[in-house]
Amino acid sequence: MSIKLGVPSKGRLMELTFDWFASRGVSLRRTGSEREYAGAVEGAAGVELVLLSAGEIPRELAAGRIHLGVTGSDLVRDKLADWQGQVAELALMGFGHADLIIAVPACWSDVDTLEDLDAAAHAFRAAHGHRLRIATKYHRLVREFLTREGVADYQLVDSQGATEGTVKNLTAEAIADITSSGETLRANHLKILSDGLIHQSQATLFAARHADWTGERGTFAAFAKQLGVPADF
């Protein structure tokens, strides 16, 4: 048996994750091609590296197929309904920062807040006979946020591509998406609502509450001490 550590399998997120562990004396590396998803761990006994897409890691944590995982806090909150009951947040890793926000066309001069959006949604439905469409990949987070803020008369439409382009392409009237600099939003003539911040995301180390930790607590305690993260959760 060993502790399975799920890490993003490619790109900048993988590189920064490797750097984070390396700064704590743990070397993570690929051992095959990008298509093999094989990896190795040096500097930490009893830990096995599992390379996955960032979007797969919340599911694998919830299922207990991996013990630890690195992914965006936005993905965990959106994909897992009871995320706090399924995973424990061990460390904010200080990279992968992005904000999940609500944005509307920049030309909507009278829509700057969620209250304005709610009024616009009512007017839109009255004028067009269907609800204002908000394109997003983050259905659970967006729905919970808008419900909490009292926004009604909207519908979420799924976007798995370039969400910022849906307004220009007339498949949505507004969007809820991740942004870091806001440049892509501005390029697509969109503006963020002044109170439209849903979640500030960053790469986070999570532990699976329902993984089989039998016989692994001692190994994890040593690993947690090395990483400087809590050993109890």
DSSP codes joined into one string, 127-139: HHSSPEEEEES-H
Output the pLDDT for position 34.
59
Q: Which residue has the tokens 């590396």?
A: 29
The domain spans of the chain are 3-96+203-227, 98-201
| Helix, coil or strand: residue 227 | helix
CATH number assigned to the domain covering 98-201: 3.40.190.10
Q: Which CATH fold would you assign to the domain 3-96+203-227? A: D-Maltodextrin-Binding Protein; domain 2 (3.40.190)
- Between CA 106 and CA 89 the distance in angstroms is 37
**Fold match, 3-96+203-227 / 98-201:** yes
DSSP state of 1: -
* 8 A C-beta contact, residue 83 and residue 201: no
Note the Cα 192 to chain centre separation in Å: 19
pLDDT (tens digit per residue) in 184-223: 999 999 999 999 999 999 999 999 999 999 999 999 999 9
Closest listed residue to residue 192, CA positions, set 204, 206, 178: 178
pLDDT of residue 1: 74
Q: From residue 36, how far is each of 30, 42, 91, 120 by CA, in Å?
A: 9, 19, 28, 49
The pair of structure tokens assigned to 4 is: 């399975």
Q: Which residues pair with 107 in a beta bridge?
A: none
**Residue 146 token pair:** 């808008």
Q: Which residues of the chain have pLDDT under 70?
A: 32-37
Helix and strand element counts for the chain (H, E):
8, 12
**What is the reported pLDDT for 181?**
85
DSSP secondary-structure letter at 165? G
* β-pairing verdict for 174-179 and 98-105: antiparallel
Cα dihedral 23, 57, 175, 141 in deg (nearest 10):
-100
pTM tops 0.85, yes or no: yes
Residue 88: closest CA among 1, 210, 198, 225: 210
Q: What pLDDT shows up at residue 35? A: 57
Which pLDDT value is given to residue 180?
Answer: 87
pLDDT of 154-175, one tens digit each? Answer: 999 999 778 999 999 999 999 9
